[in-house]
Chains A and B, each alone.
Chain A
Amino acid sequence: MLTYIGRHTLAFCDSCGRYIIFLYNVFINGLRPPYYWKQMMCQLMDVGFCSLPVIGLTSIFTGAVLALQSYTGFSRFSAESALPMLVVLCITRELGPVIAGLMFAGRVGATMAAEIGTMKVMEQIDALSTLSTCCYRFLYWPRILAGLLTLPLLVFICDIIGVFGGFLVSVYQLDFNAVQYIKMTVQFLQAEDIISGLIKAAFFGLSTALTGCFQGACSLGGAAGVGHATRNTVVMSSITIFFLNYLLTTIIFSK
């Protein structure tokens, strides 16, 4: 039993140490020139723009279901009129960033881990070094910056789509007045609600990209190793998103 605990504790400490060294190398090398703008643009396009359909679809259905469920609950104590307020607050503060973050972890984090892991086992990362190219600057930094910058933008768009999903259901299925619904939505929404969601999204994007790159860079042993890295990325990113969501909510809304 002691051996088991000792072995796992050492493995955990080893992973933490390697992650810290990885972070140090990423930021020390990434901030120094040369900057690979083409790689950066490719990642912004792939990580950001190409994620929009899947995250957008998730948001519209989330908004729609939220409106339906809330209406059922509110109607029990005749508070249906609070529906627009609830939809917009839930979407911008919580559901938008968290749902988008989880989809981002599944789509982008897993892709990063699989891509980098395959490059690792195929010796392509070694080849980069022999071609005088720093893998931290060329491979990891553009992905990490793309994660940090694009998820807030995606969440902003998804906030709009999610609220629109709620609006569609409320107006066409629950017989709300469209003008009244929009009026109430705008009236109750504050800049702080949107900004808090965007701050969360930036943290989620950064942590997902870092996890994907780190797991990919650490993958060993062929296809099984890459699969392991991909699975670890999705699991760890998702857990990190929930943990960060709690932490950031406590910090932002504790005033």
Chain B
Amino acid sequence: MLSVRNLHVTLGNRQILKGVDFDLKDGESLVILGCSGTGKSVLLKSILGLIPKQYGKIVVDGIDIDQVHKDERSKILSSIGMLFQGGALFDSLPVWENVAFGLIYGRGMKLQDAKEIAIDKLTLVDLDKQIALLYPPALSGGMLKRVGLARALASMPRIIFFDEPTTGLDPITSNIVNDLIVKYVKHSDLGAITITHDLTCLRKIADTVAFLFDGKIIWTGSIQGMDCTENPYVRQFIDAIPIGPLTTKKHLK
């Protein structure tokens, strides 16, 4: 479904990704763990072409996106949806238009048809129809995430990226968001990549876990594998130990 090989990304003078490799299979939910600043969000954005990569290969459904025309590449990448960390909703548009945005402006769907789909998606993420007419500043953090999820699902993606879906939410709202992700990812053919620090979220939604450190994926496995791994980096992260290989002076610099 999605294959990333030897992905290198540099921002300014700093090399963020130094050769990332992974595969995402149909219907698989991959969770990428890692400390803050290790390039997890950069990884997702570089796959989507939002941040230019230095080199590396990104293959979606067997097609190398660098080998096709720009329009074809946009079409391929439009099959990937994304839930941004802060929701990234457009403040000047009502909620329904935010959800229907990709359908109206990206695919040229009629306003009324798109509105019906948007309201349908809002209902699917357990939001009331009344919310549809509100504007994003009037919504709580949990509602923003759910509207963001509805927007990502509205364009019927085949792969969906979640950038820290539960960050900044209370435990109950986090759980609701996690349940929604499980509902739409684990119970469908949708492939998903989630970035999170939240181990509760990880245990709920992950089929496979990958650990990103120093610009590379240094460990991959299942949740069970993660619990009994001897990898010192992963161990330090999941046991939340302040001193260890992740936080040596060399890497703190």
Contact = CB atoms under 8 A, between A and B. Distances in A.
Contacts of A138: 105
B106 A123 contact: no
B155 A123 contact: no
A133 B81 CA distance: 13
A131 B155 contact: yes
Given A126-B45, A126-B50, A133 B101 contact: yes
Contacts of B80: 130
B74 interface: yes
Interface residues of B, number: 24
Contacts of A34: 105, 108
Interface of B: prevailing SS = loop
A240 to B, nearest CB: 28
B222 to A, nearest CB: 29
Interface in B103-150: 105-108
B95 interface: no
Interface string B27-58: 00000000000000000010011100000000
Interface string A112-132: 000000010011101101111
B48 A130 contact: yes
A36 interface: yes
B48 A124 contact: no
Nearest to B161: A130
Given A130-B48, A132-B78, A36 B84 contact: no
A34 B108 CA distance: 9
B242 to A, nearest CB: 28
A35 B102 CA distance: 15
A130 to B, nearest CB: 5
Nearest to B105: A133
Contacts of A122: 86, 88
A133 B107 CA distance: 9
B88 A124 contact: yes
A34 B104 CA distance: 11
Contact of A127 (B49, B77, B82, B107): B82
B8 interface: no
Contacts of B77: 130
Contacts of B155: 131-132
Given A132-B74, A132-B105, 15 more contacts: A34-B105, A36-B105, A123-B84, A123-B85, A126-B48, A126-B84, A127-B82, A127-B88, A127-B89, A130-B80, A130-B82, A131-B106, A131-B151, A131-B155, A132-B106
Interface of B: 45, 48-50, 74, 77-78, 80-82, 84-86, 88-90, 101-102, 105-108, 151, 155
Q: Which 8 A-B pairs have the closest CB atoms?
A: A132-B106, A131-B102, A127-B88, A123-B88, A132-B78, A130-B82, A133-B105, A123-B84
5 contacts: A122-B86, A122-B88, A124-B90, A131-B101, A133-B106
